[in-house]
Amino acid sequence: MIDYLADVKPLQDQGLSPSDIVSHLNSKTATPMNPEQCRYILQDTGAVLTDPVTPDQRTGSLISYYQGLPDGDAKKLIAFFISRIYNGEVVRTDQWPRSAQFKGVEDSMPAELQSVSAKLVESAGGRAASVTEEDVTAAQQAWEDQEAQRLAQEEADFQAAREEALRMEEEMRKLELAQEHSRKAQSLWNIHIAPLMDSIEAPVTDGAVWQAALQTMANEWTA
């Protein structure tokens, strides 16, 4: 399965064409080629043999093949591969462009050396199942659909949070207004009604007085 963000988008950002991306995905190994493992395979298969007396002198089927190649990209890439492996450096066949370069050289080799190359690839975790441009397009479309859904959900969540914040703000405004009314009512009550209620020694029995006090409260409320 293609991971669009990990496998495709970085290459698109580099400007690679769909065909180059497919070439990379079909060529890349799971991990870089480890120099120690590669040296063992090359020695074990007789592809590269190192003279124990003169370590810089190398022979073998890969060396003979290399020496017989005309100058060009294939020869340069084999020299690059051998140089890194015997200098103890990994070969990033898991990354573009080494992935496609290694596969291109591998495909042009005779069967004897292709079997050696297959062991090198296996030591680097092998290659994934073959993919097509349609697979890449489908992976991108699936990601774009998911991204659109994610952004739409983020927008919906933002709007819902905003509406909830506005609702809470309105509730707080109403509560503050109610508390303000309560304080005002209590203040007017204390001024106009409480004194009438506290007149124990001389109780106010005239209903008109109570009514007038209430009316004064009402008038001052709206004033």
DSSP calls for 42-104:
HHHTTSSEE-SSSTT-EESHHHHHHHHSPSSHHHHHHHHHHHHHHTT--B-TTSTTHHHHHHH
Q: How far is CA 177 from CA 28, 117, 183, 184, 205, in A?
A: 69, 82, 10, 10, 35
Q: Which of 145, 104, 152, 98 is nearest to 4 (CA)?
A: 145
CA distances from 75 to 29, 47, 72 (A): 21, 15, 6
Predicted confidence band of residue 57 (pLDDT cuts 50, 70, 90)? confident
- Supply the pLDDT for residue 196: 86
Which domain does 203 fall in, by range?
Answer: 193-223
Instruction: Note whether 205 and 118 are same-domain residues.
Output: no
122 and 199 within one domain: no
CA gap 2, 12 in Å, rounded: 14
* Residue 123 pLDDT grade (very low, low, confident, very high; cuts 50, 70, 90): very high
Residue 206: per-residue pLDDT: 87
Answer yes or no: is pLDDT of 19 > 90.
yes
Question: pTM above 0.75?
Answer: no
Number of folded domains that form the chain: 2
**Residue 20: pLDDT above 70?**
yes
Average pLDDT over residues 167-192: 93
CA–CA distance, 46 with 105 (Å, rounded to integer): 19
7 lies in a domain? no
Whether the ω angle into residue 97 lies within 30 degrees of 0, i.e. cis, is yes
pLDDT score for 73: 93
Residue 73 lies in a domain: yes
Res 161 pLDDT > 90:
yes
Q: Are residues 41 and 121 in the same domain?
A: yes
Of 86, 108, 127, the residue at which a domain comes to its end is: 127
Mean pLDDT of 48-75: 90
* 71 within a domain of the structure (yes/no): yes
Confidence band of 197 (pLDDT split at 50, 70, 90): confident
Q: Provide the token pair at 119.
A: 């062991």
Flag whether 197 is in a domain: yes
Q: Which residues of 13-30 are buried (b: 16+ CB within 10 A; e: fewer)?
A: eeebebeebbbbbbbbbe
On the question of pLDDT at 223 being above 80, the answer is no
- Domain-ending residue, one of 85, 104, 127: 127
Q: Quick one: pLDDT at residue 190?
A: 92
Residues 120 and 45 placed together within one structural domain of the fold? yes
- What pLDDT score does 202 carry? 81
Is 154 a member of any domain?
no
Residue tagged 């120099």 (tokens):
35
Which pLDDT does position 203 carry in this prediction?
A: 85
Confidence category of residue 201, pLDDT binned at 50, 70, 90: confident
| Contact status, residue 25 vs residue 137, Cβ threshold 8 Å | no
* 108/197 same-domain check: no
Kindly tell me if the per-residue pLDDT of 160 is higher than 70. Answer: yes
Examine the domain organization and report whether 116 and 198 are in the same domain: no
User: In the listed set 111, 127, 143, which residue is the last one of a domain according to the structure?
Assistant: 127
Percentage of the residues of the chain whose pLDDT score is greater than 90: 82
- Beta-ladder partners of 50: 58
Residues 121 and 33 occupy one common structural domain: yes
The predicted structure's pLDDT at residue 109? 95
> How high is the pLDDT of residue 170?
95
| 35 lies in some domain | yes
Same domain? 121 vs 200: no
Mean pLDDT of the chain: 93
- Residue 195, classified by CB atoms within 10 Å of its CB into exposed (0-12), middle (13-18) or buried (19+), is exposed
Whether 166 maps to a domain, the answer reads no
Residue 85 counted as domain residue: yes
Q: Tell me what percent of the residues of the chain surpass a pLDDT of 70.
A: 100
